[in-house]
Amino acid sequence: MAEQASIAEATMTGANNGEGVRRRDFINIAAVSFAGVGGLAALYPLISQMAPSADVLAESSTEIDISAIAPGQAIKAVWRKQPVFIRNLTPEEIKAADGVDVASLRDPQTLEQRTTAGKTNWLITMGVCTHLGCVPLGAGEGEVKGEFGGYFCPCHGSVYDTAARIRKGPAPKNLEVPPHEFSSDTVVKIG
């Protein structure tokens, strides 16, 4: 009995710093925090493993020969496993794109901003609708180009003009222009 009482007394006096916080509370908080931080750190690889892996990231540039594309024609290339439209615009199509009041567009951009200086006839865009990712029609032979003469997405009816700018339908943005540069007059490097 006496022994128990002295242990209780020791706990009371020895561990109590006067504000009701005991030494044991500190150990408790420190141990749980340490385990918590460790647990969170262990989550990081579990979440990060889902992001694109190194081999997927490595396929991030491609070179394309554009010498055979006549004005008015377009081809579909592949970059990052997604389609890219490379289109040789006719002077009429350039004129149609430049004739639009940029301020009236949903995603205001001029054709110059979307092409390389001196090569405004080469419109290079992703073939991925900015709505939900379908491939719009209009690059292939005989495909519907939509009422603005550019691209038409059959999934949800988005219509793009000759500068591949969104004009009508649910898509929020213009078709994305991927990073690209002309290695020569006939070869373009995407990515």
Partner 1 sequence: MSFPWANEYKPTNPLMQWVDERLPLPRFVYNAVGAGYPVPRNLNYMWNFGVLAGFALVLQIVTGVVLAMHYAANDKVAFDSVEHIMRDVNWGWMLRYAHANGASMFFIVVYTHIFRGFFYSSYKAPREMIWLLGVVIFLLMMATAFMGYVLPWGQMSFWGAKVITGLFSAIPLVGTPLQEWLLGGFAPDNAALNRFFSLHFLLPFVILGVIILHVWALHIPGSSNPTGVEVKQESDTVPFHPYYTAKDGFGLGIFLLVYCALVFFAPNLLGHPDNYIPANPLSTPAHIVPEWYFWPFYAILRAFTSDFLFIPAKLMGVLAMFSAILVWFFLPWLDTSPVRSGHYRPLFRKFFYLLVVDVLVLGYCGGAPAEEPYVMISQIASMYYFLHFLVILPVVSSIETPAPLPFSITEAVLGKDEHATLAPATPAVA
* Site residues (vs partner 1, CB under 8 A): 50-53, 56, 76, 78, 80-83, 106, 127-128, 130-135, 154-157, 169-172
- What is the C-alpha to C-alpha distance for residues 122 and 75, in angstroms, rounded to an integer? 11
CB of 60 to partner 1, least distance (A): 9
Q: By C-alpha distance, which of 50, 21, 125 is closest to 83?
A: 125
Q: By C-alpha distance, which of 88, 179, 59 is closest to 126?
A: 179
Which residue's CB is nearer to partner 1, number 149 or number 169?
169
CB of 160 to partner 1, least distance (A): 14
In angstroms, the Cα distances linking 134 to 13, 55, 106, 137 are 72, 24, 20, 9
Sign of CA dihedral 83, 178, 161, 170: positive
CB of 140 to partner 1, least distance (A): 9
Which residue's CB is nearer to partner 1, number 82 or number 120?
82
Catalytic residue among 23, 24, 106, 156: 156
- Taking every pair of Cα atoms in the chain, the longest distance, rounded to a whole number of angstroms, is 104
| Chain centre distance of CA 55 | 18
156 is catalytic: yes
CB of 79 to partner 1, least distance (A): 9
Which residue's CB is nearer to partner 1, number 93 or number 151?
151
Catalytic annotation, residues: 156
